[in-house]
Amino acid sequence: MTTPTSSTLVRRDVATPLGPLTLVAADDGLRGAYFADHRRRPELEALEAPATHPALDRAERAFAAYFAGEAADVPVDAVAPGTPFQREVWEALRDIPAGRTWTYTQVAARIGRPTATRAVAAAIGRNPLTVAVPCHRVVGADGALTGYAGGIERKRWLLAHERG
Protein backbone atom coordinates (compact mmCIF):
# COMPACT_ATOMS: atom_id res chain seq x y z
CA MET A 1 0.00 0.00 0.00
CA THR A 2 1.18 3.46 -0.75
CA THR A 3 0.46 6.85 0.71
CA PRO A 4 -2.36 8.59 -1.12
CA THR A 5 -1.67 11.52 -3.37
CA SER A 6 -4.05 14.39 -3.87
CA SER A 7 -6.77 13.68 -6.45
CA THR A 8 -10.53 13.71 -6.78
CA LEU A 9 -12.43 10.90 -5.08
CA VAL A 10 -15.20 9.04 -6.89
CA ARG A 11 -17.52 6.26 -5.80
CA ARG A 12 -19.43 3.25 -7.04
CA ASP A 13 -21.97 1.06 -5.28
CA VAL A 14 -21.67 -2.63 -6.10
CA ALA A 15 -23.92 -5.51 -5.15
CA THR A 16 -22.42 -8.27 -3.00
CA PRO A 17 -23.93 -11.29 -1.21
CA LEU A 18 -23.52 -9.24 1.99
CA GLY A 19 -25.36 -6.18 0.75
CA PRO A 20 -24.26 -3.08 -1.14
CA LEU A 21 -20.59 -2.16 -0.96
CA THR A 22 -19.46 1.37 -1.75
CA LEU A 23 -16.07 1.57 -3.44
CA VAL A 24 -14.17 4.86 -3.23
CA ALA A 25 -11.22 5.55 -5.52
CA ALA A 26 -8.94 8.19 -6.92
CA ASP A 27 -6.82 7.98 -10.04
CA ASP A 28 -4.07 6.22 -8.09
CA GLY A 29 -6.24 3.37 -6.77
CA LEU A 30 -8.89 2.22 -4.36
CA ARG A 31 -9.18 4.35 -1.22
CA GLY A 32 -12.10 2.74 0.53
CA ALA A 33 -14.63 -0.10 0.55
CA TYR A 34 -17.56 0.25 2.94
CA PHE A 35 -20.78 -1.63 3.61
CA ALA A 36 -23.83 0.59 4.07
CA ASP A 37 -23.88 0.18 7.86
CA HIS A 38 -20.09 0.12 8.24
CA ARG A 39 -18.87 1.69 11.48
CA ARG A 40 -16.76 4.80 10.81
CA ARG A 41 -18.11 5.04 7.25
CA PRO A 42 -17.43 8.54 5.95
CA GLU A 43 -20.06 10.57 4.11
CA LEU A 44 -19.80 9.35 0.53
CA GLU A 45 -23.09 10.25 -1.10
CA ALA A 46 -21.81 13.61 -2.44
CA LEU A 47 -18.97 11.96 -4.37
CA GLU A 48 -19.33 11.73 -8.14
CA ALA A 49 -20.27 8.28 -9.45
CA PRO A 50 -18.84 8.06 -12.99
CA ALA A 51 -19.99 5.27 -15.31
CA THR A 52 -16.38 4.27 -15.90
CA HIS A 53 -13.23 4.90 -13.91
CA PRO A 54 -10.08 2.74 -14.19
CA ALA A 55 -9.55 2.19 -10.44
CA LEU A 56 -13.24 1.57 -9.77
CA ASP A 57 -13.52 -0.77 -12.75
CA ARG A 58 -10.52 -2.84 -11.56
CA ALA A 59 -11.81 -2.94 -7.98
CA GLU A 60 -15.33 -3.94 -9.03
CA ARG A 61 -13.95 -6.83 -11.11
CA ALA A 62 -11.71 -7.94 -8.23
CA PHE A 63 -14.55 -7.88 -5.68
CA ALA A 64 -16.85 -9.74 -8.12
CA ALA A 65 -14.23 -12.48 -8.57
CA TYR A 66 -13.73 -12.76 -4.81
CA PHE A 67 -17.45 -13.04 -4.04
CA ALA A 68 -17.92 -15.52 -6.90
CA GLY A 69 -15.27 -17.74 -5.29
CA GLU A 70 -12.86 -17.27 -8.20
CA ALA A 71 -10.20 -15.52 -6.09
CA ALA A 72 -9.01 -16.05 -2.53
CA ASP A 73 -8.22 -12.37 -2.08
CA VAL A 74 -9.30 -9.05 -3.55
CA PRO A 75 -6.24 -7.91 -5.54
CA VAL A 76 -6.62 -4.16 -5.81
CA ASP A 77 -4.38 -1.15 -6.18
CA ALA A 78 -4.97 -0.11 -2.58
CA VAL A 79 -3.98 3.36 -1.47
CA ALA A 80 -4.90 3.50 2.18
CA PRO A 81 -5.23 6.91 3.81
CA GLY A 82 -3.78 6.47 7.29
CA THR A 83 -0.83 7.00 9.55
CA PRO A 84 2.41 5.14 8.87
CA PHE A 85 1.61 2.80 11.78
CA GLN A 86 -1.89 2.09 10.47
CA ARG A 87 -0.57 1.38 6.99
CA GLU A 88 2.04 -0.98 8.47
CA VAL A 89 -0.71 -2.90 10.30
CA TRP A 90 -2.97 -2.98 7.23
CA GLU A 91 -0.10 -4.27 5.08
CA ALA A 92 0.47 -7.09 7.61
CA LEU A 93 -3.20 -8.07 7.32
CA ARG A 94 -2.66 -8.77 3.63
CA ASP A 95 -0.22 -11.52 4.67
CA ILE A 96 -2.95 -13.54 6.42
CA PRO A 97 -3.86 -16.42 4.10
CA ALA A 98 -7.46 -16.60 2.93
CA GLY A 99 -9.61 -18.70 5.23
CA ARG A 100 -7.10 -18.49 8.08
CA THR A 101 -7.13 -16.27 11.13
CA TRP A 102 -4.53 -14.52 13.23
CA THR A 103 -4.99 -12.93 16.62
CA TYR A 104 -4.32 -9.27 17.32
CA THR A 105 -1.21 -10.43 19.22
CA GLN A 106 0.04 -12.30 16.15
CA VAL A 107 -0.42 -9.19 14.00
CA ALA A 108 1.48 -7.11 16.57
CA ALA A 109 4.33 -9.64 16.55
CA ARG A 110 4.29 -9.71 12.73
CA ILE A 111 5.06 -5.98 12.58
CA GLY A 112 7.76 -6.30 15.25
CA ARG A 113 5.75 -4.63 18.04
CA PRO A 114 4.66 -7.50 20.29
CA THR A 115 3.47 -5.20 23.08
CA ALA A 116 1.33 -3.01 20.82
CA THR A 117 -1.73 -5.26 20.70
CA ARG A 118 -4.19 -2.49 21.62
CA ALA A 119 -2.70 -0.06 19.10
CA VAL A 120 -2.86 -2.80 16.47
CA ALA A 121 -6.52 -3.43 17.31
CA ALA A 122 -7.27 0.29 17.01
CA ALA A 123 -5.54 0.46 13.62
CA ILE A 124 -7.47 -2.58 12.40
CA GLY A 125 -10.70 -0.93 13.49
CA ARG A 126 -9.90 2.03 11.24
CA ASN A 127 -9.21 -0.06 8.12
CA PRO A 128 -10.93 1.77 5.24
CA LEU A 129 -10.64 -1.14 2.81
CA THR A 130 -12.92 -3.86 4.10
CA VAL A 131 -12.36 -7.30 2.56
CA ALA A 132 -9.53 -5.98 0.31
CA VAL A 133 -7.41 -5.51 3.43
CA PRO A 134 -8.72 -8.57 5.26
CA CYS A 135 -9.31 -7.36 8.80
CA HIS A 136 -12.08 -9.97 9.00
CA ARG A 137 -9.28 -12.55 9.39
CA VAL A 138 -8.28 -11.20 12.81
CA VAL A 139 -9.83 -12.78 15.91
CA GLY A 140 -9.56 -12.49 19.66
CA ALA A 141 -6.89 -14.31 21.65
CA ASP A 142 -9.36 -17.12 22.36
CA GLY A 143 -10.36 -17.42 18.70
CA ALA A 144 -13.63 -15.51 19.18
CA LEU A 145 -14.96 -13.41 16.31
CA THR A 146 -14.59 -9.87 17.58
CA GLY A 147 -14.63 -6.31 16.35
CA TYR A 148 -15.51 -6.14 12.67
CA ALA A 149 -16.74 -2.76 11.41
CA GLY A 150 -19.01 -4.50 8.90
CA GLY A 151 -20.62 -6.62 11.63
CA ILE A 152 -19.83 -10.01 13.14
CA GLU A 153 -22.31 -11.83 10.85
CA ARG A 154 -20.44 -10.53 7.79
CA LYS A 155 -17.13 -11.54 9.36
CA ARG A 156 -18.48 -15.06 9.95
CA TRP A 157 -19.77 -15.22 6.35
CA LEU A 158 -16.47 -13.99 4.87
CA LEU A 159 -14.42 -16.57 6.78
CA ALA A 160 -16.80 -19.38 5.79
CA HIS A 161 -16.73 -18.19 2.16
CA GLU A 162 -12.93 -18.27 2.14
CA ARG A 163 -12.81 -21.72 3.72
CA GLY A 164 -15.08 -23.02 0.94
Read off the pLDDT of residues 71-118 as tens digits, 9 standing for 90 and up.
999 977 777 788 999 999 999 999 999 999 999 999 999 999 999 999
Catalytic residue of the set 135, 139, 149, 159: 135
Count of other CB atoms within 10 angstroms of residue 145:
15
CA 122 – CA 139 distance, rounded (Å): 13
- HSE (CB half, 13 Å, CA atoms) of 88? 13
CA 34 – CA 131 distance, rounded (Å): 9
pLDDT computed for residue 6 by the predictor: 54
pLDDT computed for residue 39 by the predictor: 80
Residue 5 falls in the annotated catalytic set? no
Apex CA 68: angle with CA 65 and CA 71, to 5°? Answer: 45
Kindly report the average pLDDT of the chain as a whole number: 91
pTM of the model: 0.90
